Structure 1
């Protein structure tokens, strides 16, 4: 991961008396975390190092929970003084779970730790990479209704601020749509749903207006949009129809998706089941419908299946859930470092921002640029050819294949997809004759053998699971900082020769869920295992309960689920 360096020649006694390190954690909205490492001065003295961490979402919280090195002073700066368990936001919109049950105060993570933490409620407004400064604005107004601004300097900066909702610059979206990104968004949606029912219940409202007011539009057929549509359907049909029986027949839910199918990132079996279930439930799924404009009362869509015909859909409430966008100050930072044309901050496999040796990024605001095999093919060949013969045997390549697969995970994925048991099978593709041990390749033949490997490279999804693993990875490296040696990363890792103290970050996928309402959930687990039905819903309950960040939130969430089973969902506007 990030290249951690330290002055190896400083004695343990000197460390005991002089080496006090500072870690400053700076946060902004939704997900992210922060970490840094110490670097010794060449003069033989160790200076305090300041680390600013931007973000206390999934990555930031994971980092803070796993950080246990008492040698650091950590300052946390965030516009929120809590962490939110965002996968349960759709449940908050419909009263299945209370907002308070899925949030944990940030300071609770610090209380029992030996690390010295400080927290300030503020947001980052600008990063000055050249001068190593971060400009912040307090989230708390003073008596003059002004927000105080201050500047923090840093030695190392970790950016994990999450992302904004991506509106694709569609006219009217910001003014007329609701989003589902923060706890406050879920609370707004909950109040808006009840408001629609109350407005439609007024005696002077026509049937035409009732149909419009009670038409709920969800834009985006990804996991969040699908789960919200399913939760809203259950809320309406299990709870609200009992309270508003005279207007229940006017309720309609429409899910708009620009692609050909909803849940496009899931297995086709899950996609087909979800679409069929929504059809049976009466949820109108319109695929191939691209939203081009949103007015106060209508959504205009371009129907791809009808030659791009524009149609207008009246609505009472619209929720926009179509992906993520870049925060303004991150865009400014990316322009400073020459990444202006990217969607997210580019990092290497150690989460180090490309072009900034002292800045790291993780979570939704960043993307890892995996190193390509073909970029290092000469180095790979030279390291593997130990006898300098100019040719490479299978035996020589096999000795370094573990290091290659760790440095370039696309190699292992390529072998798996090609159903090859070993690197020997890959090399034999270039030379069909001969036994494994007799296969010899020169560098050009090796290039041919590995020419298609880089096609297996994939970007990591912007999910809580990825951000959480990145935060834990950073904390683990930070805790082991004193074991690190200078320049721990390189083109290859070999036994006894420049071996990494810190391995590159590798994401491990544990599966994903898609709640579909009616106590039915679809799950796509590792190994292409697909599970759909009520039993999967109970698996969803157990996993989400176990993943809560504290025993307090775990107990609150379970009690909310129990309350819902006994008393139904809360339909108040509070």
Structure 2
């Protein structure tokens, strides 16, 4: 079995088949061999390699060594699999903007963060030289961040703190020349957050001296200038900069594009899966995280099968009681039904059927198939794509690990909803994402938090909540201790400003 999986999922993954795990940031592969079915003693083989091709028809994954000291070049090898789980994340999306790849920094890998840190310090070193003109110093110390989403906002806030709390003490003569600009094509930054958080973030950035330019779409990046198009009037402006960071979204990795072309998904932006995270068109391939998207099945596609399953007496009409008998399976298979009832503030399916029929007597309501179609016609409008966040990927990894661990057991005792297009039940319950909230660190030990129940918190208390959540999500106690000790060191001694 070949499995590409996230770190979180690996902790819970104990399946009794050959397994290969490929980590996102370097496409590393871990092989699990367990021929004797022992779920506790697992022989682990690790290979640091890059996956560059998937052959779904022959169940093979083509890899090449990524070890730098390979004297004979990049050695290639092929691995067979029983099941494949694709979790390789995504690339940075440049939207084919000229000059971005050559001149911008990205926020994707650990190496990107290290490179950004070195570049920031180099900018201060160059601007501090005595023979540099005033205008050139301003250009060098102008830091431009493209993208007003959570990543871009958090980086702008962190950069502001780093400059004003640490670097200005080492370079006091040029501290007034530093400028940070955040460019966003939309009307507001943090567009996916509550409006109260958006307003607070924009106001705080203005007070901190961070220049927020909304409605500015970057059309070109040269070595020293960024060209933007103002969406209001179409005017083209150029902004000189010393360092540019690109943080505008995600794109598909090249070998995933090739795989999608193989299986007839070439027109999609990501691998399409069903609610069980199986890639459509490949029964033995699963996908999760940023490289995939769940193609939630529509109720109206199965409305005839649903009606037939509920109409046990073949009368041609459904009573409320008959429909409620399969309602649990419907809500589990089609979560948009439950969401629709919640948004319409309806207590149960009887209220929905009554609205469609126009009958006040709930118990006496009987609907034919056309009336049922009318009742459920707007349900599919509640379908939403899941956000490309670590929270989603982590829950998907945990879900899939549990499914594989219970695969043999659930073959005999299925736990999922009814197969409305066939007989019996599915082996597993569909994946259901549970949103636990989202945070936006805004610098100055202040964070905005948007938690379930429309609860919004902004300020220092939310920062400590963010610290606790961040630490708790680490993969081990060792990592938690390292992270907390690093925060403590920063509080006491400040950030490390060396160029090592």
Fold match by TM threshold 0.5 = yes
Task: Give the match for residue 548 of structure 1.
Answer: 474
Task: Output the aligned Cα RMSD.
Answer: 2.2
SS at match of 2:67: strand
- Whether 1:334 and 2:260 are equivalent positions in the alignment is yes
Q: Shift of the alpha carbon at 1:221?
A: 0.5
- Whether 1:129 and 2:129 are equivalent positions in the alignment is no
Q: For the residues of structure 1 that align with 2:72 and 2:143, how far apart are their CA atoms?
A: 37
Q: 1:573 to 1:145 in 2, by over 3 A?
A: farther
SS at match of 1:516: strand
1:396 to 322, 325, 331: 322
Q: Shift of the alpha carbon at 1:182?
A: 0.7
- Whether 1:423 and 2:379 are equivalent positions in the alignment is no
Q: Shift of the alpha carbon at 1:490?
A: 8.5
8 A Cα contact 2:418 2:426, kept in partner:
no
Q: For the residues of structure 2 that align with 1:446 and 1:135, how far apart are their CA atoms?
A: 49
Q: 1:243 to 1:142 in 2, by over 3 A?
A: closer
- Whether 1:499 and 2:445 are equivalent positions in the alignment is no
The alignment of Structure 1 onto Structure 2 pairs a total of residues equal to: 492
Q: Shift of the alpha carbon at 1:489?
A: 9.2
8 A Cα contact 1:166 1:322, kept in partner:
yes
- Whether 1:322 and 2:272 are equivalent positions in the alignment is no
Bigger relative contact order (CA 8 A; separation at least 6) = 1
Q: For the residues of structure 2 that align with 1:145 and 1:174, how far apart are their CA atoms?
A: 29
- Whether 1:166 and 2:69 are equivalent positions in the alignment is no
2:120 to 193, 196, 204: 193
Task: Give the match for residue 356 of structure 1.
Answer: 282
Task: Give the match for residue 65 of structure 1.
Answer: 11
Q: Shift of the alpha carbon at 1:327?
A: 0.4
SS at match of 1:524: strand
Q: 1:405-451 CA distances to partner (integer Å, 9 max, x unpaired)?
A: 11000001111111111111111111222311111111101101110
Task: Give the match for residue 269 of structure 1.
Answer: 196
Q: Shift of the alpha carbon at 1:80?
A: 5.9
* Greater alpha carbon shift after TM alignment, 415-424 vs 405-414: 415-424
8 A Cα contact 1:73 1:116, kept in partner:
no
Task: Give the match for residue 53 of structure 1.
Answer: 3
Task: Give the match for residue 278 of structure 1.
Answer: 205
Structure 1: where are the runs of 5+ without partners?
1-50, 84-104
8 A Cα contact 1:68 1:114, kept in partner:
no
Task: Give the match for residue 372 of structure 1.
Answer: 298
Q: How does 1:403-418 map to 2 (within 5 A)?
A: 403-418=329-344
TM-score, with structure 2 as normaliser: 0.94
8 A Cα contact 2:185 2:214, kept in partner:
yes
Q: Shift of the alpha carbon at 1:402?
A: 1.3
Q: For the residues of structure 2 that align with 1:76 and 1:333, how far apart are their CA atoms?
A: 18
Q: For the residues of structure 1 that align with 2:437 and 2:466, how far apart are their CA atoms?
A: 11
Q: Shift of the alpha carbon at 1:74?
A: 3.2
Task: Give the match for residue 157 of structure 1.
Answer: 84
Q: Shift of the alpha carbon at 1:155?
A: 2.2
* Greater alpha carbon shift after TM alignment, 152-161 vs 542-551: 152-161
Q: 1:287-334 CA distances to partner (integer Å, 9 max, x unpaired)?
A: 1100000000000000012x1111000000000000000000000111
Q: 1:489 to 1:328 in 2, by over 3 A?
A: farther
Q: Shift of the alpha carbon at 1:73?
A: 3.9
Q: For the residues of structure 2 that align with 1:490 and 1:249, how far apart are their CA atoms?
A: 62
Q: For the residues of structure 2 that align with 1:481 and 1:125, how far apart are their CA atoms?
A: 29
8 A Cα contact 1:220 1:258, kept in partner:
yes
Q: How does 1:158-557 map to 2 (within 5 A)?
A: 158-305=85-232, 307-485=233-411, 492=418, 498-557=424-483
Q: For the residues of structure 2 that align with 1:556 and 1:516, how far apart are their CA atoms?
A: 23
SS at match of 1:302: strand
8 A Cα contact 2:447 2:458, kept in partner:
yes
Structure 2: where are the runs of 5+ without partners?
none
8 A Cα contact 2:22 2:88, kept in partner:
no
Q: Shift of the alpha carbon at 1:501?
A: 3.4
Q: For the residues of structure 2 that align with 1:453 and 1:76, how far apart are their CA atoms?
A: 38
Q: 1:469-526 CA distances to partner (integer Å, 9 max, x unpaired)?
A: 11111110111111122896998359xx723331011111111100001111011111
8 A Cα contact 1:407 1:491, kept in partner:
yes
* Greater alpha carbon shift after TM alignment, 269-278 vs 384-393: 384-393
* Greater alpha carbon shift after TM alignment, 445-454 vs 481-490: 481-490
TM-score, with structure 1 as normaliser: 0.83
Q: For the residues of structure 2 that align with 1:559 and 1:368, how far apart are their CA atoms?
A: 39
Q: 1:261-302 CA distances to partner (integer Å, 9 max, x unpaired)?
A: 111111111111111111111110111100000000000000
